[in-house]
Chains A and B, each alone.
Chain A
Amino acid sequence: MTKKAIELKQPARRHLGKYRMLYLMALPGLIFFLIFSYVPMVGVLLAFREFNPIKGISSIFFGEWVGLENFKNFFGSAFFSRVFSNTVIISSLKILFGFPAPIILAIMLNSIKSRAYKKIVQTVSYLPHFLSWIIISTIMYILLAPTSDGLVNQLLGTLGVQPVNFLSDPKSFRGMLVVSEIWKEIGWSSIIYMAAMSGIDESLYEAAEIDGASRLQKQIHITLPGILPIISIMLILSIGNLLNAGFEQIFLLYSPLVYGVGDIIDTYVYREGLVKVNYSFATSVSLTKSIIALFLIVGSNKLANKLETEGLW
Chain B
Amino acid sequence: MKNSRQSSVETIMDYLNNIIMFLFLVTIITPYLYVIMVSITNETNISYMFGKNVKICLDSYKILLLEDTTIIRAFFVSTTRVIVGVTLNLLFTSLLAYPLSRKYLPHRNKLNFYIVIPMLFSGGLIPTYLLVSSLKLIDSYWVYIIPGLISAWYTIILRNFFQSVPDSMEESAKIDGASDLLILFRIILPLSMPALATLGLFYAVDHWNAWFDAVLYIRSPKKYPLQIFLRRLAVEQSNIQNLLSSDIGKRSITPESIKCATLLITTVPIMLVYPFLQKYFAKGIMIGAIKG
Chain A residues close to B by CB (< 8 Å): 8, 12, 15, 19, 21-23, 25-26, 28-30, 32-33, 35-44, 46, 57, 60, 105, 108-109, 111-113, 117, 120-121, 123-125, 127-128, 130-132, 134-135, 137-139, 141-143, 149-151, 154, 183, 187, 191-192, 195, 205, 209, 214-216, 233, 237, 248, 251-252, 266, 269-270, 273-274, 279, 282-283, 286-287, 289-290, 293-294, 297-298, 301, 304, 308
Query: Are A26 and B20 in contact, CB atoms less than 8 angstroms apart?
Result: no
- In the bound assembly, the distance between CA atoms of A266 and B20 in angstroms comes to 37
On whether A46 and B122 interact (CB within 8 A), knowing A19-B105, A26-B99, A36-B147, the answer reads no
Which of A41, A112, A120, A282 is close to B123, meaning CB atoms less than 8 Å apart?
A: A41
- Say yes or no: A214-B7 contact (C-beta < 8 A), given A134-B230, A286-B124: yes
Pair B121/A138 contact, Cβ less than 8 Å: no
Question: Cβ of B172 < 8 Å from any Cβ of A?
Answer: no
Assembly CA distance A118 to B179 (angstroms): 48
Q: Does B14 contact A (CB under 8 A)?
A: yes
Among B65-73, B191-199, B204-212, B245-253, the stretch that binds chain A is B204-212
Mark each residue of chain B from 9 to 35: 1 if its CB lies under 8 Å from any CB of chain A, else 0: 110011001101100110111011011
A33-B118, A269-B124, A283-B127 given; A138·B234 CB < 8 A = yes
Known contacts A37-B152, A39-B127, A151-B46; 12 further A-B pairs (Cβ under 8 A): A22-B98, A36-B147, A112-B18, A132-B208, A134-B230, A138-B263, A143-B31, A252-B231, A266-B125, A270-B125, A287-B124, A290-B121
Complex CA–CA separation, A44 to B181 (angstroms):
38
Cross-chain contact B38 with A142 (CB below 8 angstroms): yes
A283–B126 CB distance below 8 A = yes
21 chain-A/chain-B pairs, Cβ below 8 angstroms: A19-B106, A21-B181, A25-B184, A33-B118, A33-B150, A35-B131, A36-B147, A37-B117, A39-B131, A41-B122, A41-B127, A43-B128, A46-B127, A112-B17, A132-B210, A135-B263, A135-B266, A150-B44, A191-B285, A214-B10, A304-B290
Question: Which residues of B are interface residues toward A (Cβ below 8 A)?
Answer: 1, 3, 7, 9-10, 13-14, 17-18, 20-21, 24-25, 27-29, 31-32, 34-35, 38, 44-46, 92-93, 95-96, 98-100, 102, 105-106, 111, 114-115, 117-118, 120-131, 133-134, 146-147, 149-150, 152, 155, 179-181, 184, 205, 208-212, 216, 227-228, 230-231, 234-235, 256, 259-260, 263, 266-267, 270, 274, 277-278, 282, 285-286, 289-291
A110 to chain B, nearest CB (A): 9
Number of A-B contacts (CB under 8 A): 241
Of chain A, the residue at the smallest CB distance from B212 is: A248
Q: A121-B24, A131-B267, A274-B126 are in contact. Are A38 and B34 (CB under 8 A)?
A: no
B146 cross-chain contacts in A, Cβ below 8 A: 36
> Closest B-chain residue to A21, C-beta based?
B180
Given contacts A22-B180, A23-B99, A30-B114, contact A41 B17 (CB under 8 A): no
B274 partner, pick from A38, A130, A134, A287, beta carbons under 8 A: A130
Check A28 against B95 for contact (C-beta < 8 Å): yes
- Chain A interface SS verdict (over half): helix
> Are A127 and B130 in contact (CB-based, < 8 A)?
no
Asked whether B114 lies within 8 Å of A43 as measured between CB atoms, the reply is: no
Minimum Cβ distance to chain B for residue A144 (Å): 10
Cβ B263 vs Cβ A149 within 8 A:
no
Query: Could you tell me the dominant secondary structure of chain B's interface residues?
Result: helix
Q: How far is the CB of A101 from chain B (nearest CB, A)?
A: 10
Instruction: Please tell me if the beta carbons of B34 and A57 are within 8 angstroms of each other in the complex.
Output: no
Q: How far is the CB of B22 from the nearest CB of chain A, in Å?
A: 8
A181–chain B nearest beta-carbon distance, Å = 14
- Beta-carbon contact of A37 and B118 below 8 Å: yes
| Complex-state Cα separation, A279 to B212, whole angstroms | 19
Inter-chain CA distance A65–B45, complex, in Å, is 61
A176 to B147, CA, bound (A): 32
Contact of B235 among A137, A214, A298 (CB under 8 A): A137
Contact B126 A141 (CB under 8 A): no
Residue of A nearest to B1 (CB): A205
Contact present for B100 and A26 (CB under 8 Å): yes
Closest residue to B206 on the A side, CB-wise? A132
Contact yes or no, B45 A149, CB < 8 A: yes
CA distance A307 to B60 in the complex (A): 55
Contacts of A286 in B (CB 8 A): 124-126
